[in-house]
Amino acid sequence: MRTITVVGLGYVGLPLACLCAEKDFDVYGADIDKNKVSLISQGISPIGDPDLKDAVKKTKGKIKATDNIGEAVKNSSIVIVCVPTPVDDDCLPNLRPLKSACEEVSKSLQKDTLVIIESTIFPGTTYEIILPILKKSNVDFYLSHCPERLDPGNKKFAIQNIPRVVGGINNESTKKAAEFYQKIIDVDIIELSSVKAAEATKIMENTFRDINIAFINEMAMSFDKEGIDILEVIRGASTKPFAFMPHYPGTGVGGHCIPVDPYYLIEKAKQIGFSHKFLSLAREINNNMSNYTVKLLEEVLQKLKKTIKNAKIGVLGLAYKADVDDVRESPAFKIIKILKKKDADVFVFDPYVKKGTNVENLNELLQKSDYIILVTAHNKFKNIDLNKLKENNVKIVIDGRNCLDKEKIKSMGIMYHGIGRS
């Protein structure tokens, strides 16, 4: 069990491949993206995360990056599938990348290979979809699910110190997967009784987050009407030593998991005759936060007897979270789309994301904008010299992450509105 193929070299697969290489496994990194394969072969990360850049550079030459999945699988005793599992435009699970990857694996699968699925999947996927595909190989193999739990940009919890759960199609599959992860992970490996339980674990984790964020977003919208500062209330509630877990409102939920995974559970439940009303409502609330953010700007503009049409609006941030370059499902794009549909003149800057940015730097954005919407709480934005807002005659700040100094901004004569704090 020393040769590993990681299928899919994105935000999940690439860190895993690097970690396995650091632990002295022989590692194939397989991906259909030839450009990504070329960069990794040169020790260059195609993903902007600083820690990942260092890891790819450190493991240069130790990861055999290839676009030939079959060749990699043929030479491996462990195959780990880490391809995306998105939703389509109708919010229905799109398993085509996963099915395609498994089809390629099955063509070259060797006897007694351990196959691990790290891609996020709904309960039943392993048995109902993946297992039949892999059985086309006509060889005996082991099959487990170990959902990834990465949090990009989190300095406290990285891939090697996040506990993992595993569940296999049989006891031996579970044991073999747990044995492997114990060799690369520094913390606990939790063996679950079934692969279905492992599938459900990741879905429940992220749905929990989505529901709680929806709750706090709804509270923020309510408090807006009451003139109550949501951050003050959260601070007060957080003093309770039990039962309360703080979540924070914002412009919407982004990333590859939280805005996607609930739909996998919702749609799977429909197949068995159950309706997840609570989950669906949470998705509706969180999806609406981009519209609500723009509505806040419109309400403040009304006080100035202005409209969004032809307004010069600066949008700070494209990434879905602070200090990363990941734009998957970011609410920024929805906000920009709404603003442009209302005929606003929109300027966009993100220090981590080039595509979509239309100004050279933050200073240029401030110079061109009368109104600001902060979407991403990058440190560069949180630590902005607020005097520059005044110097550039910015009239309104919509703080979509409640990370700026409200009182100082208002003291400068600039109109301020956060999400749940006016």
84: Cα separation from own chain's centroid: 11
CA-wise closest residue to 1 among 22, 20, 29: 20
Angle at 192 between CA 188 and CA 194, to 5 degrees: 155
Q: What is the pLDDT of residue 157?
A: 85
Structure tokens at 70: 């079959």
Residue 51 pLDDT class (50, 70, 90 cuts): confident
End-to-end CA separation in angstroms for the chain: 58
As a whole number of angstroms, the distance between CA 82 and CA 41 comes to 19
Residue 355 CB-density burial (10 A; 0-12 exposed, 13-18 middle, 19+ buried): exposed
**Non-local CB neighbours of 371 within 8 Å, separated by 6+ positions:** 297, 301, 311, 312, 313, 314, 394, 395, 396, 397, 398
Q: What is the pLDDT of residue 361?
A: 96
- Domains located in the chain, CATH noted: 3-193 (3.40.50.720)
As a whole number of angstroms, the distance between CA 187 and CA 3 comes to 22
Contact call for residues 104 and 141 (beta carbons, < 8 A): no
Q: What is the DSSP string of 166-183?
A: EEESSHHHHHHHHHHHHH
pLDDT in tens, 339-384: 999 999 999 999 999 999 999 999 999 999 999 999 999 999 999 9
Q: Mean pLDDT in the chain?
A: 95
The residue with greater pLDDT, 49 or 74, is: 74
As a whole number of angstroms, the distance between CA 33 and CA 54 comes to 21
Structure tokens at 144: 């487990």
| Catalytic residue check, 403 | no
Structure tokens at 173: 């599959």
pTM to 2 decimal places: 0.92
Residue 290 pLDDT class (50, 70, 90 cuts): very high
Pairing of strands 164-168, 141-145: antiparallel
pLDDT in tens, 249-262: 999 999 988 999 99
As a whole number of angstroms, the distance between CA 89 and CA 37 comes to 29
Q: What is the pLDDT of residue 332?
A: 97
Residue 244 pLDDT class (50, 70, 90 cuts): very high
| SS3 state of residue 384 | coil
Catalytic pick among 18, 102, 146, 257: 257
Q: What is the mean pLDDT of residues 104-115?
A: 97
Q: What is the mean pLDDT of residues 325-337?
A: 95
**Non-local CB neighbours of 155 within 8 Å, separated by 6+ positions:** none
Paired strand residues for 28: 5, 64
CB count within 10 Å of CB 216 equals: 20
Q: What is the pLDDT of residue 1?
A: 60
Q: What percent of the chain has pLDDT over 70?
A: 100
pLDDT in tens, 128-179: 999 999 999 999 999 999 999 988 777 788 888 999 999 999 999 999 999 9
Contact call for residues 297 and 396 (beta carbons, < 8 A): yes
Structure tokens at 403: 């990370």
